[in-house]
Amino acid sequence: MADDMTFGSAGALLVRKLTQARKERGLSLDEVSVETRIQKNHLEKIEAGDLTFLPSAYVYAFLKEYAKVIGIDDPQLIESCRDELSIPTDLKSLKETQSAEEDSSQTGDRLSGIFSAVSSAGEGISPVVLVGGAVFLVIVLLTVGFFMFSGTRENTQMPSSQNLETEAVPESEPALVEPDSVALVDSLREGADESAPELAVKQEAWAKDVSFLPESSTSPYQQVLIVRITKDLSWVKIIADDGDKVYPGAAYKAGEVLRYEAKRKLWVNIGRPPFVELYLNGEKVPPMSKRTIVLGEE
């Protein structure tokens, strides 16, 4: 089997039927991807007639599963596609490979679905394809492990002091997520401000139940930052004391009030500065002229 296979007449006819049937049923490629568990970009390549993105056995399995989900019942045409793609019929080898894939990891679930689609018609995969499939799976697992490890390291690192003022903010703000519980007003300590001097901001309705000051004069956290989202939504991320504490960044909606603590200083990253108000120990911080500032002791 060669990876630079050409798309024969039977394959071209099947792809036309698949594409036409999908459109007639009003289904998007996203919907077909969910039903077949085939990646959308693979479906796009198939509909474009590009069958070189994976070994022919996988492509054939994709075609069969696509036809099954979309309702194309033409065994003779599918068999002709198998012949054009030179798919062998070693069912025993296929089932052994399928079992090994299912036991490997959750990442193998998608490949197991592919093998099941092929085995349902009684075809198999040659030893050459099995070796190629095993190599492909190892590459997938290594790639997933690399990105998971990289993501963990990225979350624990903080910007160096030289870059605090210039760190880039994401070009596009992420979808709204549930705020971290430590940042919510609901998690503020009850009665924290009862013995504190009256603050001007306390006259505002939204601020009555907000704790603007440290818990006590002996608390190690003497820097308290309140972030209030005043309009639309904005990305907020806070790092305290040169990385001793990192508050997860997230997008927050108008009306939300967030509370952060630090021993000495806070690195503040705001996605849309005009849409927020900042209060440090009860005193309003002047409007930000850029997206990143440092508040507290230097």
> What digits encode the pLDDT tens for the residues 202-238?
999 999 899 999 999 999 999 999 999 999 999 899 9
Helix orientation angle between 29-36 and 56-70, rounded to the nearest 10 degrees: 110
Which pair of tokens denotes residue 269? 């990253």
Q: What does the DSSP assignment read for 164-222?
A: TTTPPPPSSPPPP-PPPGGGBGGGSPTTTTTTSPPPGGGGSGGGTT---S-S-TT-S--
Cα separation values, 21 from 16, 29, 58, 142, 187, Å:
8, 12, 22, 37, 54
Question: What distance lies between CA 143 and its chain's CA centroid?
Answer: 15
Q: Amino acid identity, residue 46? A: I
pTM of the predicted protein model: 0.38
- Distance (Å, rounded) from C-alpha 192 to C-alpha 216? 8
Give residue limits of the domains in the chain: 9-147, 181-296
* Lowest model confidence (mean pLDDT) among 128-137, 166-175, 241-250, 266-275: 166-175
Count Cβ neighbours within 10 Å for each residue of 26-60 and write b for 16 or more, e otherwise: eeebeebbeebebeeebbebbbeeebeebbbbbbb
Which pair of tokens denotes residue 253? 């909606």
Cα separation values, 289 from 237, 271, 276, Å:
17, 12, 12
Cα separation values, 93 from 131, 165, 228, Å:
11, 59, 62
> What digits encode the pLDDT tens for the residues 228-252?
999 999 989 999 998 888 998 899 9
Q: What is the dihedral of CA 37, 43, 46, 51, to 10 degrees?
A: -60
Residue 282: pLDDT above 60? yes
> What digits encode the pLDDT tens for the residues 161-201?
444 444 444 545 444 444 444 444 444 444 444 444 578 99
Check residues 97 and 131 and name the one with the higher pLDDT: 131
Could you please state the CATH topology (level 3) that the domain comprising 9-147 is classified under: 434 Repressor (Amino-terminal Domain) (1.10.260)
Residues in CB range of 188: below 8 A, 6 or more apart: 209, 210, 211, 259
